[in-house]
């Protein structure tokens, strides 16, 4: 199937072709016709499957039709499409896709991008003439609404991208406030790689007779990622990372660690050892973060050391390798981390460092991620550490986030089920 069979306007088909995309992905095939029909959609597909275009293309078609029906350009545009995302990076990425696709269209479509961590004043100024579509993080969106810089009373299409991450970051209360500001009659679209119980509850409360789309993690659709696990002592991990970079001649590597401190510490150790490495974490300014990503995409950095901040919403074309220097907290985070490589049909590699103290944790991640990898030992890096003794208080989970809802999960679920005007 090609994009011409999905009901898209010729101008959008041409814009997609200009991006070098010949055929739609499975989630795009399933979702686009239903979105064009005005249906609510609940779509689950693995990371890197093309979810962004699955909603961007049809909402642009709606905006084209609205713009074509106007006699003249309005002095101030009304926001008809609202896209809510969990992070600044994803807001920027979605906005860039919208602008790239809208640029060749004869209809003028303005995109507003709103996120925190930077001054609110430039964003207020950018909204003085309105915006047809707004891509925003929830907190900053509400700030601008409170400053009377934005009115959501005309929104016709609401998109929640990475809905599970929105709730995981504690945005449940903000989401309820935003929903109350929107017209009761609107189209609702939820896209995500995973749907935790709190997201299912939110979907049931928000969506009206939705089309449910699930793209299974089949071999046919699975990204081409070669996964490895290497056991190593804690003190030898940086040396092992340097060894792998040199041995395999890796040009770009995304390395995941557990904390901001570890980002700076590991990046500094690599840099002093002659590896062009830098840190990327949430306490950096937005400008610095954008610079790091741009320079990494241009291959000016060999290694970027990051937290789970970069596990979602970061699209780096042809990123060859992801390394879990510290193991992720959950199997879901593992899936999102390694999903930064092997995108758009490219081959990728994901390497996880396993220490004696995290061996039980790794075994549980494998079980829940439904993978089974041999734990390798490399010559020159043979581990000497032994697993810690089992504590009577240890529940056998290895520290991984379990399926039993925590108190925080229960609060989020309660917030998602609170009455709202939808």
For the cut 50, the answer to whether the pLDDT of residue 219 exceeds it is no
Q: 73 lies in which domain range?
A: 3-218
For residue 249 the two structure tokens come to 């001649």
Q: Which two tokens stand for residue 257?
A: 């660690």
pLDDT band at 199 (very low <50, low <70, confident <90, very high): confident
Residue 382 lies in a domain: no
Based on the domain organization, do 83 and 206 belong to the same domain?
A: yes
**By CB neighbour count within 10 A (0-12 exposed, 13-18 middle, 19+ buried), where does 274 fall?**
exposed
Instruction: Kindly state the DSSP code that residue 111 receives in the 8-state scheme.
Output: E
- Say whether pLDDT at 174 is over 70: yes
Percent of the chain with pLDDT over 90: 53
Cβ atoms 181, 145 nearer than 8 A: yes
* Whether residues 282 and 182 fall in one domain: no
Is residue 409 a part of any domain in this protein?
no
3-state secondary structure 32-72: HHHHHCCCCEEEECCCCCCHHHHHHHHHHHHHHHHHHHCCC
User: What's the number of domains the chain is made of?
Assistant: 2
Mean pLDDT across the chain: 86
- The CA distance from 422 to 266, in Å, is 47
The C-alpha atoms of residue 416 and residue 411 are separated, in whole angstroms, by 9
Task: Please check whether residues 45 and 190 belong to one and the same domain.
Answer: yes
Sign, Cα dihedral of 166, 167, 170, 174 = positive
The greatest distance separating any two alpha carbons of the chain, rounded to the nearest whole angstrom, comes to 75
Residue 415 inside a domain? The answer is: no
Q: What is the pLDDT of residues 321-341, one digit of tens each?
A: 999 999 998 887 888 888 888
Rg from Cα positions in the chain: 22
Are residues 37 and 56 both part of a single domain?
yes
Q: Report the 10 Å Cβ neighbour count for 326.
A: 21
Asked whether residue 94 falls in the same domain as residue 201, the answer is yes
- pLDDT of the residue at 420: 47
Q: Name residues whose C-beta falls within 8 Å of residue 256's C-beta, 6 or more positions apart in sequence.
A: 306, 307, 308, 310, 311, 322, 323, 324, 325, 326, 328, 337
Note the pLDDT of residue 408.
52
Q: Residue 291: phi, psi to the nearest 5?
A: -65, -45
374 φ, ψ (degrees, to nearest 5)? -70, 140
Residues 168 and 123 in one domain: yes
Q: By C-alpha distance, which of 157, 405, 117 is closest to 284?
A: 117
In a domain, 417, yes or no: no
Whether 65 is in a domain gets the answer yes
Cα separation values, 386 from 169, 325, 355, 358, 396, Å: 35, 18, 9, 10, 17
**Residue 344 binned pLDDT confidence (cut-offs 50, 70, 90):** low
The tens digit of pLDDT for each residue in 110-160 reads 999 999 988 999 999 999 999 999 999 999 999 999 999 999 999 999 999
Same domain, 154 and 15: yes
Q: Is residue 28 over pLDDT 90? A: yes
CB neighbour burial string for 407-419, b if at least 16 within 10 angstroms, e if fewer: eebeebbebbeee
Residue 122 inside a domain? The answer is: yes
* Same domain, residue pair 82 and 45: yes
Asked whether residue 393 is assigned to any structural domain, the reply reads no
Distance (Å, rounded) from C-alpha 402 to C-alpha 361? 11
* Inside any domain, residue 107: yes
For range 166-193, the mean pLDDT: 88
10 shares a domain with 58: yes
SS3 323: strand
- Listed residues 166, 186, 218: the one ending a domain: 218
* 239 plus 187 within the same structural domain: no
Residue 18's domain is classified under what CATH number? 3.40.50.300
Residues 71 and 182 reside in one and the same domain = yes
**pLDDT tens sequence across 388-421:** 876 554 544 444 444 455 555 555 555 555 554 4
Q: Which of 168, 189, 218 is the last residue of a domain?
A: 218
Residue 231: strand pairing partners? 354
- In degrees and rounded to multiples of 5, residue 247 shows phi and psi of -65, -40
Residue at which a domain ends, from 173, 198, 218: 218
Residues 314 and 346 in one domain: yes
290 φψ region: left (φ > 0), alpha (ψ -120 to 50), beta (else): alpha
pTM of the model: 0.65
| 194, 332 Cβ separation under 8 angstroms | yes
Q: In which order are the strands placed within the sheet that holds 224-231? A: 277-280, 303-306, 253-256, 321-324, 347-354, 224-231, 375-376
CA dihedral 107, 65, 162, 304 (to 10 degrees): -20
Distance CA 324, CA 337 (A): 8
């Amino acid at each position: 199937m090609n994009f011409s069979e999905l009901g898209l306007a010729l101008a959008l088909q041409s814009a997609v072709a200009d991006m070098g995309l010949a055929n739609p992905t499975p989630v795009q095939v399933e979702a686009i016709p239903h979105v064009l029909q005005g249906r609510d959609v609940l779509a689950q597909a693995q990371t890197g499957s093309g979810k962004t275009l699955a909603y961007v293309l049809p909402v642009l078609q709606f905006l084209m039709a609205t713009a074509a029906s106007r006699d003249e350009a309005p002095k101030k545009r009304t926001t008809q499409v609202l896209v809510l995302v969990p992070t600044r990076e994803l807001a920027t990425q979605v906005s860039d896709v919208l602008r790239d696709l809208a640029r060749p269209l004869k209809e003028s479509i303005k995109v507003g991008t709103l996120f925190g961590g930077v001054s609110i004043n430039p964003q207020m100024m950018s909204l003085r003439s309105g915006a047809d579509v707004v891509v925003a993080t929830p907190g900053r969106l509400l700030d601008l609404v409170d400053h009377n810089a934005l009115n959501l009373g005309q929104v016709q299409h609401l998109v929640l991208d990475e809905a599970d991450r929105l709730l995981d970051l504690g945005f449940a209360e903000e989401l309820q406030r935003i929903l109350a500001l929107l017209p009761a009659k609107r189209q609702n679209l939820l896209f995500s790689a995973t749907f935790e119980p709190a997201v299912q509850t939110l979907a049931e409360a928000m969506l009206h007779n939705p089309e449910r789309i699930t793209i299974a993690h089949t071999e046919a659709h699975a990204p081409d990622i070669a996964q490895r696990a290497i056991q190593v002592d804690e003190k030898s991990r940086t040396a092992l990372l340097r060894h792998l970079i040199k041995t395999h001649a890796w040009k770009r590597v995304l390395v995941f660690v557990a904390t901001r401190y570890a980002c700076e510490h590991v990046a500094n150790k690599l840099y002093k050892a002659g590896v062009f490495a830098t840190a990327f974490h949430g306490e950096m300014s937005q400008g610095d973060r954008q610079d790091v990503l741009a320079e990494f995409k241009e291959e000016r950095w060999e290694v970027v050391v990051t937290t789970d901040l970069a596990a979602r919403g970061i699209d780096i074309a042809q990123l060859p390798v992801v390394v879990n220097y510290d193991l992720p907290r959950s199997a879901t985070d593992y899936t999102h981390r390694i999903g930064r490589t092997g995108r758009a049909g490219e081959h990728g590699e994901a390497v996880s460092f396993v220490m004696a103290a995290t061996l039980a944790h790794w075994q549980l991640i494998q079980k829940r991620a439904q993978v089974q990898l041999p734990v390798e030992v490399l010559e020159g890096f043979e581990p000497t550490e032994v697993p810690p003794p089992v504590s009577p208080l240890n529940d056998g989970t290895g520290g991984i986030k379990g399926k039993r809802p925590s108190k925080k999960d229960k609060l989020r679920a309660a917030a998602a089920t609170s009455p709202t005007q939808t």
